[in-house]
Structure 1
């Protein structure tokens, strides 16, 4: 079995029975089940959701996205070996920990395979909920240019790059393009303030104004649970992005839950603490891959400047990266996943066939 066979790069062509188009994101594909299959599974498996709740099969891939582009390596390698299984394992671990700490639940109902989640449909909050414990990345770039207001928060003078902030900061941005909100540009991933959210809570998909405080509480609590856990493993939780949404339980009560993935190397920066104490930043997250790309290409502005998106897309499409770069990030993902979960991450010999087999035999979902 070749390395290319062990990498799941295309995940939107599985013969999962669905009567709607497959939604394919940068990393995950979502297959919405028919009403009859959703009802059947809820009954057979006893999921705590409304009997008519729409369910979906969410299949992760090994694709790697950075700077809003998908990258590939020489030898026909269109992903990072072990990445999908590592991301899901980490999220599963944190969601379980949230449950044990009496935080909110997640959208995941079942885990048939390391690459697969069965999820319930949620009404998403249209906010990328970002939490920061250190000043780095986009916040540092803005600060270095002299900006002292960030998402409506005033930053004090004298902050230093990669140093701990005086307190954990919540710096939200838009999820998707939101139209007609005063003062909020109609573009994806735009920084917003708490006032923007309060004054337009319905436009951000909040059911009621008091849920803004609940989402902030869940964001901060989730951040602290992960941060404290990583601290015991000699890791620093630098910053992260959470997503939230509403679902209804079997009794029809609406509740706010965690969605998507949490605390992964894709959605967070994680630094090695021992190295940090010695003055070095060792990334246990995708940030290491981003830094590689910035150094690998002679004109890093293409990767950083949103106005040069066509050039960036061409760069990703036309350049096969060195295999070693992909294997290095594979080691990072697998290493941090095994550290966090205490379990080995195994590369599947034929991930696609394994998924088909389990969804056919245990769930009756293969067309």
Structure 2
């Protein structure tokens, strides 16, 4: 099992490269972006020291399927997927925001609620809610999009408008698209025996039009519960069976790491790495209804370089 954790390609027409927490984005002639989904994994805004085999392929292929399945709701940046770990798309001017949609009270929202917080990003939360309880309607809780190494921060609609991060008209479209995308994702998940719990969307502008960017409905950007047994577990106050990156965060917290100064990432043994890889593949197969085909037996970087160059030369 090999993992791709670094890339340093030089494609024809390349003008710059951006290394994100998980993705490496290559700018081609300031017009096209080549986004490589690496096997890096991050949690608590920290890139962990070990890569997860097949994770990049899982993320890229799930995102491609959902971008295709939601293009009737809003335009998106995707043009092609020339490699299992690569999406090529239109360059857009991104909003410095992540539009997070929550259907259930869990994760960081639950931790804040348990500590007495009753408002997130300007949205009032009902009293008396329990962990993993469904909201009456999905809520939108945006965050700022932080630079590498910094933490995303919750932000309200009022603050977004006050800081000029979006105009009132733009924000209404962002929120509308986010809710509609979440509903579509919920419908697709339900067909596969899953619950889409919460997720994030990123948007940009292209020629004055708001466009959906990046990945959607992957285990890095979303949290899923299994539908079967959800109600029984909720009523009994038991943890939900879930397919998301939350199990990685929980493993880190159980081992004394939350991304705070002075804390050390626990050892990621081959068994831990293999287990995380299998969880990603499990989600792929559940959410797509297809068997995951592992791309292996070759140099990953060489394969990507060849496939992307062949696409760009067309």
Fold agreement, TM-score > 0.5:
yes
Please state whether the residue corresponding to 2:126 is helix, strand or coil.
coil
Equivalent of 1:196, from 144, 147, 159? 159
Q: Which residue of 2 aligns with 1:65?
A: 42
The answer to whether the aligner puts 1:229 opposite 2:188 as a matched pair is: yes
Q: Which residue of 2 aligns with 1:245?
A: 204
Q: Which residue of 2 aligns with 1:277?
A: 231
Please state whether the residue corresponding to 1:190 is helix, strand or coil.
coil
Q: Which residue of 2 aligns with 1:83?
A: 55
Measure, in 1, the Cα distance between the counterparts of 2:174 and 2:69.
Answer: 18
- Over 4 Å off, 4+ runs: none
Q: Which residue of 1 aligns with 2:219?
A: 265
Q: Which residue of 2 aligns with 1:45?
A: none
Shift of 1:59: 1.0
Shift of 1:303: 0.9
Equivalent of 2:286, from 339, 342, 351? 339
The answer to whether the aligner puts 1:105 opposite 2:75 as a matched pair is: yes
What's the RMSD between the two structures over aligned residues?
1.9
For the pair shown, which has the larger CA radius of gyration, 1 or 2?
1
Please state whether the residue corresponding to 2:127 is helix, strand or coil.
coil
Please state whether the residue corresponding to 1:265 is helix, strand or coil.
coil
Q: Note the alpha carbon deviations across 1:102-139, whole angstroms, 9 max, x for none.
A: 21121111111111111221111111101111111121
Q: Cα–Cα, structure 1 residues 149 and 361, in superposed 2: closer, same or farther, change >3 Å? A: closer
Shift of 1:18: 4.8
Q: TM-score, normalised by structure 2?
A: 0.91
Measure, in 1, the Cα distance between the counterparts of 2:310 and 2:51.
Answer: 28
Shift of 1:199: 3.1
Q: Which has the higher strand share?
A: 2
Q: Which residue of 1 aligns with 2:313?
A: 364
Q: Note the alpha carbon deviations across 1:41-85, whole angstroms, 9 max, x for none.
A: xxxxxxxxxxxxx1121111011111122224xxxxx31111111
- Within a 5 Å distance, the mapping from 1:302-321 to structure 2 comes to 302-303=257-258, 308-309=260-261, 311-312=262-263, 315-316=264-265, 319-321=266-268
Measure, in 1, the Cα distance between the counterparts of 2:304 and 2:85.
Answer: 8
Measure, in 1, the Cα distance between the counterparts of 2:225 and 2:305.
Answer: 37
Equivalent of 1:152, from 114, 122, 130? 122
Please state whether the residue corresponding to 1:258 is helix, strand or coil.
strand
Shift of 1:27: 0.7
Measure, in 1, the Cα distance between the counterparts of 2:69 and 2:5.
Answer: 30
Unmatched segments (≥5 aa) in structure 2: 234-238
Measure, in 2, the Cα distance between the counterparts of 1:227 and 1:19.
Answer: 38
Measure, in 2, the Cα distance between the counterparts of 1:274 and 1:68.
Answer: 31
Do 1:89 and 1:341's aligned partners in 2 also have CA atoms closer than 8 Å? no
Measure, in 2, the Cα distance between the counterparts of 1:276 and 1:239.
Answer: 15
The answer to whether the aligner puts 1:125 opposite 2:117 as a matched pair is: no
Do 1:28 and 1:59's aligned partners in 2 also have CA atoms closer than 8 Å? yes
Q: Note the alpha carbon deviations across 1:317-348, whole angstroms, 9 max, x for none.
A: xx531222221221111111122223333233
Unmatched segments (≥5 aa) in structure 1: 36-53, 73-77, 178-186, 249-253
Aligned length: 305
Please state whether the residue corresponding to 1:143 is helix, strand or coil.
helix
